[in-house]
Structure 1
Amino acid sequence: MFTSIRSPIPLQEFDASDKTTNDAVSLPPEAFISDDFFNFEKGAIFAHEWLCIGRANDIPNKGDFFTIDLINEPLIAVRQADGSIKVMANVCRHRAMKVADGQGNARRFRCPYHSWVYGLNGALQSAPDLNENPCFDKSTISLPEIRSEIWQGFIFVTFDKDIPPISQRLESLTDYLRNWDLENLVSAEPLQFFDVEANWKVFGDECYHCAHLHSQSWCEMYDTSSEMIDYEASYNSIDQGVIGYNLVSLKPDLSPTRTGRNLQPILKGLTEEQRKTLVYATIAPNMLIIAMPDKVKYFLWYPTGTQTSVFAATWLYPQSTIDQDNFQETWKMEVEDLKQVMLEDIFAWESVQKGLRSTNAPRGRYAPSEVVLVRLNKWLINRYRNADLNSN
C-alpha cells in the first residue's frame, strides 16, 4: 500500500533536532517541501501508525456511515447490524470507483458506475450481467476491511496489521481523562474538513505563539495572567506519541469565550483541580484533544500532498447539554468567539509554509514553551530512523 524507502534526507541532518529544548533546532526545511521526503513519510509514519478518522457516536444507527479520504486511501466507516463499526476501502472491486460519498444512512452501497451492490459488511451482493455467470463467484468478493479500533468513542484505523492496539498505547491518557467521560460525549456538528496550504507537520501545537499571534483574540478571552503551564502532565509519553501540556488557572470554570467563563454546564465528575484545567494532548501524528471543564474539542489533520493538508475540528458535549433549549445559541456563540483564533492559526500555518520554501528558511532554536514541539520531533525522528533502517 505504501512503499518502504530510505530517507532522501540523510538521517544525520535530523540529529540537531533530537536534543534538549535548550539545544534543539527545528527540522530541516526540506522535510516540509520535498516530494521525495513526503513519499518516505507515507511509509515511515502513515503506513504504521493509528490514525483517528472521527467519532463512533456520529454514526449511531444501523447503516449510518461516513466517508473519508486518508492519504489517497478512500475509506468508509459504517455501523453494522450488530452495533459494531466496520471500516472498509471505499473502492469498488470492479473498476475502483467510490461506492459512497459524504455521510448518511444506507441499506447497502451501490457503485454508480455499473451498479455493483455491496452489503453493509462489504460483501458483494450483486453484479449485473455477472450474477449467473459460472465463471464468476461473487461470494469471494468484498470491500477490503481496514483494521480499526474504538478508543473512548474515537474511531482509529491503521494499515499495519502488527502494531499494538491503540487502547494499549493510550492507557495513560485514558486514565487521565477518565472523569471527562469521553466515550459518551456527542458531537455538536459533524467534522467538516477544509484545505490548508501547509505541510502536515506545521500543525504541531505549542503555547509560545498564544500571547503573540492571538494577543487580540484568545488572550482577550482567557485570563493568561492567572494561569500556569504544566508541561509535565502524567499522560505525557514521547515513546507512545502522547505529548501535551495543561493550562492551569487559579479559578475554576474559565474558558476562552467572550464572557471568560464556560457557556455550558460543567461536566459531571470533574474534580476541583480539573475544573481549573485545560488539557492539550496531541496524539501523534494527526490528532489534538483539548479537554475543558464543560466540553472536549478535538482536531484532526491529514496530508493531501507534500505542502497541502486538510484540517477539521468540532466540539463534544454530553447529550444533556445538547438537549438544552438554549444550546444552539450558546454553542454558536462559542464558535464565533474562537473563529478569529482559527483564522489567525491558518494565516500562520500558510505563511510558515511559504517561508519554508525560501532559500533563506532557517532551522531556528526553540523557546522553553515550545518543549511540546521538541518532544514531537523526538517521536517523529525515532520513526524516521526505524523506517530507514528497515527500508527495502
Structure 2
Amino acid sequence: MKDAVDELRENVSRPFEAARAMPPSVYTSDAFLQRELNDIFAQDWFCAGRASSLLGAGDYLTLDLANQPVIVLRDGTGDLRAMANVCRHRMSTLLEGRGTVRRIVCPYHAWTYNLDGTLRGAPAMEQNTGFCKSENTLPEIRCEEWQGWIFVTLNPHAPPVAAQLARLEEMIGDFGMAEYTETFTETHVWDTNWKVLAENFMESYHLPVCHAGTIGGLSKLEEMVCPPGEAAFNYHTILKDDTLKIALAHPDNTRLTGDRRRMTYLIAIYPSLMITLTPGYFWYLSLHPKGPGQVHISHGGGMSPEFISDPEAKAQLDQLRDLLKRVNEEDRGCTEKVFRGLSSATARPGPLSHLERPNYDFAQYIYGRIAAAADGGGQ
C-alpha cells in the first residue's frame, strides 16, 4: 500500500494543466504530520507575529514550534530576541502567553534569567561546587525581522528571511507594509488540517460562495490574477471596488498609483504565514498544526499609516474587525467541512481550477521539503 509521501509524489508529478488537489492521506496521516514537523516547521522560518506588538523592553510572546517551546521578547537594548522557553534547572517552561516582564523567573524553583537569557540568580545553589551561572544561559534561537514581521527558526542554516523574500519585497515595496500598525491579535483552534486552511487562503475561487454574506461580492473571478509561485511564497491579486473604502488607498497615500490603489495581494509565505495586504489594511493568519485534525491560528490585523492617522480611523477599524470576524466564521465553516469530507473513505482529489494555481505550488513546496529531507538534503 502506498503511503502519503508516495501518493503526494504522484500528485505533484502532474503539470499544472492536469493538476489535482492533494490526496487525503497528506491531511489525515499522523506519520505525514510528523514529517511536516521535522522537515518543514523545524527547518523553515515561522512567523511569530508583528514586531510592533513587542515595543518595550520585556514585552514577550510565547509559541510552540515543532514541539519546541519558544520565547520571543524585546531585550533591554531594544533588540528582538528568541530563546528556548525551558529552564536550565529542572526543565520547566518559563513563560506563558503574552505579557511584559523585567526578568524571566521560573515558576518551579525561581531560577531567574535576564532579558538576554543569561542566568541572574539561582536560590540555594551555593553548596553545589560544580554550579556555574555562566554555563546556564537559555539557548538562543534564530530570530529576524522582515517588513515588520517576526520570524524564528530552529534551523541554524536556514538562509536569511530577507534573502528568501527579496522578490516579494520588490513586488510590494510601494505598499510600505513595514509601517502598517497592528491593532488586534487573537488565537484560535479550528477542527481542520493546517494545510486545508492554508489552501483556503491561497485561492479566491471560493469567495463568491463561501463568503457570499461578506466579501464575496467585492471581487470578480475574471479579475483575479494567479501567477506561478516563487520558491518561498505564492500570491495572487484582486482588484477591489469602492464598497469597502478601507481596502483602497487613502487620499493621503501618494505611494500608490493607478490600479495599485485598489489592488489586494493575498500572500502565502511558506510554510504557513498568510497575509492579506491592501492599500488600507492588512490581516494575517500564522498557522501551526495541532495534530492532523486541528490547527492553531494566530490571527491579527491593522491599518496603513494614513488610515491610522485619519480621524475616522476608529470607525474604520470597528468596521474592519466586524467584517473579518464574519469572514473567519465563514472560513471556519468551509474548512472544517473540507476536513470532514476528505476524511471519508470515498474522498478522491478533484481537478484544480486555473484560480487554484497557488494550491498547486504549495503542494510542490510541501513535497519538495519532505523529499529533500528524505534524500539527506535540506537548506
Q: Flag whether TM exceeds 0.5 (same fold).
A: yes
- Is it true that 1:211 corresponds to 2:208 in the alignment? yes
Q: In 2, distance between residues paired with 1:200 and 1:151?
A: 23
Task: Tell me the residue number matched to 2:366.
Answer: 380
Q: Is the CA contact (8 Å cut-off) linking 1:278 and 1:292 kept in structure 2?
A: yes
Task: Tell me the residue number matched to 2:114.
Answer: 119
Q: In 2, distance between residues paired with 1:84 and 1:171?
A: 23
User: Which amino acid in 2 is paired with 1:293?
Assistant: P
Q: Is the CA contact (8 Å cut-off) linking 1:21 and 1:367 kept in structure 2?
A: no
Task: Tell me the residue number matched to 2:71.
Answer: 76
Q: In 1, distance between residues paired with 2:304 and 2:91?
A: 40
Q: Is the CA contact (8 Å cut-off) linking 1:17 and 1:26 kept in structure 2?
A: no
Residue deviations 1:314-352 (CA, integer Å, cap 9, x gap): 223245633544423321111112322211110111111
Q: Is the CA contact (8 Å cut-off) linking 2:8 and 2:367 kept in structure 1?
A: no
2:187 to 186, 193, 200: 193
Equivalent position SS for 1:370: helix
Give the 5 Å matches for 1:157-236: 157-189=152-184, 191-203=185-197, 204=199, 205-220=202-217, 222-224=218-220, 228-232=223-227
Equivalent position SS for 1:380: helix
Aligned-pair distance for 1:37?
A: 1.3
User: Which amino acid in 1 is paired with 2:220?
Assistant: T
Q: In 1, distance between residues paired with 2:369 and 2:238?
A: 29
Q: Is the CA contact (8 Å cut-off) linking 1:131 and 1:138 kept in structure 2?
A: no
User: Which amino acid in 2 is paired with 1:218?
Assistant: I
Aligned-pair distance for 1:59?
A: 0.8
Give the 5 Å matches for 1:1-392: 8-11=3-6, 13-131=8-126, 133-189=128-184, 191-203=185-197, 204=199, 205-220=202-217, 222-224=218-220, 228-232=223-227, 237-238=229-230, 240-249=231-240, 254=242, 257=244, 262=248, 267-318=253-304, 321-390=307-376
**Change over 3 Å in CA distance of 1:346–1:131 after alignment to 2:** farther
User: Which amino acid in 2 is paired with 1:117?
Assistant: T
Q: Is the CA contact (8 Å cut-off) linking 1:87 and 1:145 kept in structure 2?
A: yes
Q: In 1, distance between residues paired with 2:80 and 2:246?
A: 39
**Change over 3 Å in CA distance of 1:289–1:119 after alignment to 2:** same
Q: In 2, distance between residues paired with 1:33 and 1:368?
A: 26
**Change over 3 Å in CA distance of 1:308–1:265 after alignment to 2:** farther
Aligned-pair distance for 1:261?
A: 6.2
**Change over 3 Å in CA distance of 1:117–1:390 after alignment to 2:** same
Equivalent position SS for 1:93: coil
Task: Tell me the residue number matched to 1:3.
Answer: none
Structure 1: gaps (5+ residues):
1-6
User: Which amino acid in 2 is paired with 1:361?
Assistant: A
**Change over 3 Å in CA distance of 1:10–1:327 after alignment to 2:** closer
Q: In 2, distance between residues paired with 1:157 and 1:185?
A: 21
Q: In 2, distance between residues paired with 1:114 and 1:261?
A: 51
**Change over 3 Å in CA distance of 1:78–1:13 after alignment to 2:** closer
Aligned-pair RMSD on alpha carbons?
Answer: 2.3
Q: Is the CA contact (8 Å cut-off) linking 1:266 and 1:294 kept in structure 2?
A: no
Instruction: Give the total of aligned pairs.
Output: 373
Greater fraction helix: 2
Q: In 2, distance between residues paired with 1:184 and 1:200?
A: 29
Q: Is the CA contact (8 Å cut-off) linking 1:198 and 1:308 kept in structure 2?
A: yes
| Stretches of 4+ aligned residues off by more than 6 angstroms | none
Aligned-pair distance for 1:69?
A: 2.2
Percent of matched pairs sharing the same residue? 28
Q: In 1, distance between residues paired with 2:351 and 2:273?
A: 25
